Structure 1
Amino acid sequence: MSFSKHSHQRNFVPLYLRHPHIRVVGVTDDVDVSPQQRAVNVQWANDLDVPYVEGVERGLELDDVDIVSIGCEIERRAAVAELAALAGKHLWIDKFLGATVAECDSVVAAVVDAGVSAIVPSYAYGELVRRSRKVLDDGQLGELLGVHVDIMFSKGWPRPIPEGDRDRPFLPPGRWKFPDIKRELLTVGAYAIGLIQACCGPIRQVYGHAGAFFFPEHAALGAEDFGTLTMVDDGGRTASLCAGRIGVATDAMGGPSRAWLVGTEGSALVDVRQPAIHAMVRRQIVEADYAPTADDPMQWASGPPLLGAPIRPDAGLAEGLEDLVNAIDEGRSPHYSVRQARDNMEILIAGYRSIVGGTPVALPLSV
């Protein structure tokens, strides 16, 4: 459902086409989407040789639809997920259930009431989470004391920030995406929180920092392109993260993706980019014959030039899809379901409230 430019729907299609038990049978979206969005949807339908159905309700009426892949804007996602669950469809949801905790709660309730399987695949199936869990499960670190995660994207060209935009008030949570930018602590930080959820207990306190900018587009709105969160779980463990979009040529491998695990008997660095120690000549990237396209200046659908490649560049989406298919066959919930995704969003919103207020925020949120 929908090929919004803010979503990863385009990345999911190859997974569906390769899976032996899945076939794409149609593309749908709301009747009142913009002409530009409709054109993108229609083009994808044509490329896939399937019908484009105007109106999500009509799309859900197709007899051969079992799973709905939801890739619309975050502000529309909860309503679509609830509608699809009510129609008895299983759900593959791109990253966020909704724009607020209340919307996320509504999706969880709809999935439970309908008895369908629903997965948010982006957070718990990737190589960084798998390796980190293996280190912890081996037991060599002893009891876990704390976790730090760095996940940052070396995308977009940083530029000087105009003096008048340096001290703008930080934009409160609520509006997440704009035509030319995304809230990057939300967009990138969610991956780091997924790893923290896999390693720690329920988070009980969040303290956030943001406000330094790489990109004038973000600074002009007071909407972060980079931020940090420090958290405490129900067992007193400390977890922290740095997340955001830090610009082309800041890293040879497209951006750091690593976790530090600290235990009573030892500590470990898990780095999926590898090697952990590397050298780069920044000029090789800056002077490369490369420029983002005019319709994707912040590189939501593309990447920077790389001077190397990770040994196993696996976001885990194929494993997530297999988990969803098995969950449907076995009548269970996927290993990372809408409940964990709901908690992920609550942690992020608490972080934004902390940034605005300048103080730690306790979880669960009261409103």
Structure 2
Amino acid sequence: MSAATTYGILLVSFSKHSHQQHFVPLYQAHPRLRIVGVVDHPDIDGELRQANRQWAEKLSVPYSEDVGQAINDPAIDIVSIGCEIEKRSELIVRTATAGKHLWVDKFPGATLSECELAVAAVENAGVRAIIPGYAYGELARQVRMVLADGCLGDLLGIHLDIMFGKGWPRAIKQRAPFTLPDGHWKYPELKRELLTVGAYSVGLIQECLGPIRHIVGHAGAFFFPEHAVNGCDDFGTLTMTDDQGRVATLSAGRIGVAGHPQGGPARAYLIGSRQSATVDSKNPALHTYMRDYTAGYDYTPPPTDPMQWHEGPPVLANALANDVAGLSVGLEDLVAAIDENRPPRYGLRQGRDLMEILLAGYRAAGLGEAVELPLERD
């Protein structure tokens, strides 16, 4: 398409588990994008329907619950998918079949087979689809710079600490045994955090290493009673090796407010054959702060958002980077990919592989033993 083309964007759902509301300012600020409408499925609850309507009114665009009609509107070029993970694969297939490009909020499906259906639809249709959360952020950018410099020698291994300082930890009075995911990921009061937060680390590991072949996982230590009583992880660790024997480890989860001055660590440790490096995307990394200021003053998460899916935690220092998550960089890559008829840096096929790694990690945590990849089909 012409570099002067303006692209119309359709926003699918402001689900409380999505980042759709954070994408809106990016779309509004881009000179070649315009928001055309808001749509959702008709089986949503009243709270989400109200949120969708409020956003449509705020943006002065129509709201509809006829997804098929909306995605086939000639004014739509890009569909921004923010619905629940369990609804995404089918929607991606319909959108790609309609010839529309895609901005997908993290996971393209709830299961590996759903992800594969989404990948096949996008590739067969020849549309451009991006998952912006993993390869475009400040941590990924800085890690690539260090690796490109060559000063480390050969990369032997990587460890990642990416955690969210959100929610208010409380005493665990009851816990259920750890339960393996069954394709149902999101609950009204919680998310599975090894999936939700661990995905950021896995996405960066994909940038640094080859295909993952073995994985060990651990989960079952809890910060929040909502997770403990359901046997659903709010924190976990993974250890994996790639096809060359290089090692990657990660810790990921929701660790509560006051655990970090900038809302949670985002740090990589790179081990090379000549030397090692630490990369902290939330520089300055001089963590001198008073925890009591955060933990001791009159602060509690909003009762309507206790896990702070939409609310940011209190921070005592600001990162130097303006766009730590790299969403604006991802948006530029999607627009350029459409203009130049090329794939974006991180698309649905990488997202499918990421889901396979996470599913293998969950299986390893549940079985208490290493799991080999690729996974066997059930």
Interval of TM-score (by shorter of Structure 1 and Structure 2): over 0.9
Match of 1:169 in 2: 177
Deviation at 1:33, TM superposition (A): 1.6
- Report SS of the residue matched to 1:105: helix
Alignment-mate amino acid for residue 224 of structure 2: F
Match of 2:80 in 1: 69
Q: Which of 246, 263, 266 pairs up with 1:237?
A: 246
Whole-angstrom CA distance in 1 between matches of 2:129 and 2:168: 37
Q: Is the CA contact (8 Å cut-off) linking 2:170 and 2:224 kept in structure 1?
A: yes
Alignment-mate amino acid for residue 181 of structure 2: P
Q: How does 1:101-140 map to 2 (within 5 A)?
A: 101-140=112-151
Alignment-mate amino acid for residue 169 of structure 2: P
Match of 1:224 in 2: 233
- Report SS of the residue matched to 2:226: helix
Whole-angstrom CA distance in 2 between matches of 1:288 and 1:124: 36
Comparing 5-14 and 276-285, the one that deviates more = 276-285
Q: Is the CA contact (8 Å cut-off) linking 1:288 and 1:305 kept in structure 2?
A: no
Matched, 1:268 2:277: yes
Q: Which of 1, 26, 41 pairs up with 2:37?
A: 26
Deviation at 1:278, TM superposition (A): 1.8
Q: Is the CA contact (8 Å cut-off) linking 1:154 and 1:251 kept in structure 2?
A: yes
Alignment-mate amino acid for residue 16 of structure 1: Y
Match of 1:96 in 2: 107
Deviation at 1:292, TM superposition (A): 1.5
The unaligned stretches of length 5 or more in structure 1 are none
Q: How does 1:185-200 map to 2 (within 5 A)?
A: 185-200=194-209
Match of 1:292 in 2: 301
Whole-angstrom CA distance in 2 between matches of 1:138 and 1:101: 36
- Report SS of the residue matched to 1:235: coil
Comparing 276-285 and 243-252, the one that deviates more = 276-285
Whole-angstrom CA distance in 2 between matches of 1:214 and 1:352: 18
Q: Is the CA contact (8 Å cut-off) linking 1:101 and 1:345 kept in structure 2?
A: yes
Deviation at 1:290, TM superposition (A): 2.5
- Report SS of the residue matched to 2:69: helix
Deviation at 1:275, TM superposition (A): 3.1
Q: Quote the RMSD (CA, aligned, Å).
A: 0.9
Deviation at 1:276, TM superposition (A): 2.9
Q: How does 1:5-24 map to 2 (within 5 A)?
A: 5-24=16-35
Q: Is the CA contact (8 Å cut-off) linking 1:226 and 1:244 kept in structure 2?
A: yes
Whole-angstrom CA distance in 1 between matches of 2:226 and 2:318: 29
Whole-angstrom CA distance in 2 between matches of 1:193 and 1:288: 35
- Report SS of the residue matched to 1:205: strand
Alignment-mate amino acid for residue 92 of structure 1: W
| TM-score, normalised with respect to structure 2 | 0.95
Alignment-mate amino acid for residue 311 of structure 1: L
Match of 2:222 in 1: 213
Alignment-mate amino acid for residue 57 of structure 1: G
Match of 1:253 in 2: 262
Alignment-mate amino acid for residue 325 of structure 1: V
Alignment-mate amino acid for residue 159 of structure 2: H
Q: Which of 329, 343, 353 pairs up with 1:333?
A: 343
Deviation at 1:309, TM superposition (A): 1.1
Deviations for 1:5-54, whole angstroms, at most 9, x for unmatched residues? Answer: 00000000000000011000001111222222111111111100000122
- Report SS of the residue matched to 1:320: helix
Whole-angstrom CA distance in 2 between matches of 1:187 and 1:260: 21
Deviation at 1:184, TM superposition (A): 0.4
Match of 2:6 in 1: none
Matched, 1:363 2:339: no
Q: Is the CA contact (8 Å cut-off) linking 1:24 and 1:50 kept in structure 2?
A: yes
Match of 2:71 in 1: 60
Whole-angstrom CA distance in 2 between matches of 1:55 and 1:363: 39
Alignment-mate amino acid for residue 360 of structure 1: A
Whole-angstrom CA distance in 1 between matches of 2:317 and 2:247: 33
- What is the aligned residue count? 364
Alignment-mate amino acid for residue 123 of structure 1: Y
Whole-angstrom CA distance in 1 between matches of 2:105 and 2:144: 23
The unaligned stretches of length 5 or more in structure 2 are 1-11
Q: Which of 305, 313, 334 pairs up with 1:324?
A: 334
Comparing 130-139 and 290-299, the one that deviates more = 290-299
Whole-angstrom CA distance in 1 between matches of 2:344 and 2:100: 15
Match of 2:310 in 1: 301
Deviation at 1:145, TM superposition (A): 0.1
Whole-angstrom CA distance in 2 between matches of 1:95 and 1:77: 10
Whole-angstrom CA distance in 2 between matches of 1:145 and 1:18: 41
- Report SS of the residue matched to 2:33: coil
Alignment-mate amino acid for residue 71 of structure 1: G
- Report SS of the residue matched to 1:201: coil
Whole-angstrom CA distance in 2 between matches of 1:268 and 1:7: 33
Q: Is the CA contact (8 Å cut-off) linking 2:198 and 2:253 kept in structure 1?
A: yes
Q: Is the CA contact (8 Å cut-off) linking 2:168 and 2:300 kept in structure 1?
A: no
